[in-house]
């Protein structure tokens, strides 16, 4: 009887995804504790907050896994309206933090609508693409992309180039899985190359230009804007093969690395866990993403496949950009490391996303074992 129950659970629930997600979250707790020097300061506020967000996220994860994903997708118009209204509200009454108007405050709580909008974009765009007879018709593709342009523009106004690029990654992934002709992708890359000088002159804010300049040469402002990248590279390099040990990183403990609990948490991992620790973290992400790709490729329905692909694209892009940013091989964008970086909005969105994936797994998988 017990064996039969275990087989039923395996059939209806992807345990591997749950384990990998929890491993990443636990890694985040430990790295946040180290980044905030809890052993020396005794201040556990950020760690406790992250644990609370994890518990709330875990609740969402299981709740969403039990709800038929089609119910969410059927309300795609409402989802789109919620996304646009939230982003508009941020533009009008959002809280300005570190030069970006990206937060909404409700009583003692604040959250980042752009984070939540990532999942909303996945569900909305997957549903819209599913409804099209032939996505390769230019008129059809243009009509679909016009709707996505509005939230992207609103996010760029905050300004938040990082989240806008995540939106584009989600859209590109879903279109690729939907079978969009590669000529469209080549045309988009060509248009982007043409648009770069225009964006530099008329679209990018000065601080965004500075980030690109610093990415190309951090020594332009080593004591200012280049500080993050320089010390992130020093921290990771000083960790060598096995790291200095948890809570033992000198760059970390001396607070040379800014926003180390969130944007630059991989720098803490590099210094204290070393090359081996970083490879293990990347491997866990790779296993998670490969599981998502496997699910997307074995779904019965296009909608299910597109949603899982969108989630996989979202996680892959965020992981790659965050790690590349800390290594100094991409400009600083403020994109969090999913499940690991400190942040309630990111945690809830990431766990809810996997909850929907579990719902799809339960409903759509032909055979996985």
Query: Which of 244, 42, 320, 332 lies closest to 252 in space, CA to CA?
Result: 244
Q: How far apart are CA 275 and CA 191, in angstroms?
A: 38
- Note whether residue 194 is domain-resident: yes
- Note whether residue 206 is domain-resident: yes
User: What is the per-residue pLDDT for 365?
Assistant: 62
Residue with tokens 């599913």: 130
Q: Which domain holds residue 70?
A: 2-364
The continuous run of DSSP H or E covering 161 comes out as: helix 161-177
pLDDT tens, per residue, the chain with 369 residues: 444 444 544 557 899 999 999 999 999 999 999 999 888 887 899 999 999 999 999 999 999 999 999 999 999 999 999 999 999 988 887 777 666 667 787 777 778 889 999 999 999 999 999 999 899 999 999 999 999 999 999 998 887 888 999 999 999 999 999 999 999 999 999 998 998 888 888 777 787 788 888 888 888 888 878 888 899 999 999 999 999 999 999 999 988 988 899 999 999 999 999 999 999 999 999 999 999 999 999 998 999 999 999 999 999 999 999 999 999 998 888 899 999 999 999 999 999 999 999 999 998 764 444
CB 20 within 8 A of CB 287: yes
CB 95 within 8 A of CB 106: no
Whether this model's pTM surpasses 0.85 = yes
- Note whether residue 369 is domain-resident: no
Kindly state the DSSP code that residue 218 receives in the 8-state scheme. G
Please give the torsion angle defined by the CA atoms of residues 37, 40, 44 and 47, in that order, rounded to the nearest 10 degrees: 30
- Note whether residue 79 is domain-resident: yes
- Note whether residue 282 is domain-resident: yes
Residue with tokens 């016009």: 146
Give Cα 154 to chain centroid, integer Å. 18
Query: Which of 323, 315, 306, 285 lies closest to 360 in space, CA to CA?
Result: 306
User: What is the per-residue pLDDT for 367?
Assistant: 42
Going by their DSSP bridges, the two strands 100-106 and 109-111 should be labelled as antiparallel
User: What is the per-residue pLDDT for 99?
Assistant: 60
User: What is the per-residue pLDDT for 369?
Assistant: 40
Q: How far apart are CA 201 and CA 25, in angstroms?
A: 40
CB 241 within 8 A of CB 270: no
The total number of structural domains that make up the chain: 1
């Amino acid at each position: 009887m017990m064996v039969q129950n275990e087989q039923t659970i395996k059939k209806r629930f992807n345990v591997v995804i749950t384990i990998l997600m929890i491993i990443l979250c636990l890694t985040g707790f430990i790295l946040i504790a180290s980044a905030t020097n809890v052993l020396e300061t005794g201040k556990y506020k950020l760690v406790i907050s992250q644990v609370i967000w994890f518990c709330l996220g875990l609740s969402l994860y299981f709740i969403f896994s039990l709800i038929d994903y089609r119910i969410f997708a059927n309300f795609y118009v409402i989802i789109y309206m919620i996304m646009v209204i939230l982003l508009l509200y941020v533009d009008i009454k959002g809280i300005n933090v570190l030069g970006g108007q990206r937060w909404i405050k409700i009583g003692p709580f604040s959250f980042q609508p752009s984070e939540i909008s990532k999942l909303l974009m996945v569900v909305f765009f997957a549903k819209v693409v599913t409804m099209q007879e032939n996505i390769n018709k230019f008129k059809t593709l243009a009509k679909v992309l016009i709707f996505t342009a509005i939230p992207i523009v609103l996010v760029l106004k905050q300004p938040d180039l990082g989240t806008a690029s995540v939106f584009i990654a989600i859209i590109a992934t879903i279109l690729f899985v939907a079978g969009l002709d590669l000529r469209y992708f080549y045309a988009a890359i060509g248009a982007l190359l043409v648009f770069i000088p225009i964006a530099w002159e008329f679209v990018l804010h000065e601080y965004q230009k500075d980030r690109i300049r610093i990415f190309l040469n951090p020594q332009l402002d080593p004591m200012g804007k280049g500080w993050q990248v320089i010390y992130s590279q020093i921290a990771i390099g000083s960790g060598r093969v096995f790291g200095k040990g948890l809570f033992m990183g000198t760059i970390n403990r001396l607070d040379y690395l800014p926003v180390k609990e969130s944007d630059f948490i991989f720098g803490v991992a590099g210094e204290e866990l070393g090359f081996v620790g970083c490879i293990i973290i990347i491997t866990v992400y790779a296993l998670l993403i490969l599981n998502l790709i496997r699910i997307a490729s074995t779904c019965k329905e296009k909608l299910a496949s597109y949603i899982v692909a969108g989630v996989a694209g979202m996680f892959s892009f965020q992981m790659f950009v965050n790690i590349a940013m800390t290594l100094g091989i991409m400009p600083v964008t403020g994109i969090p490391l999913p499940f690991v970086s400190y942040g309630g909005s990111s945690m809830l969105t990431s766990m809810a996303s996997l909850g929907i994936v579990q719902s799809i797994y339960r409903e759509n998988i032909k055979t996985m074992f």
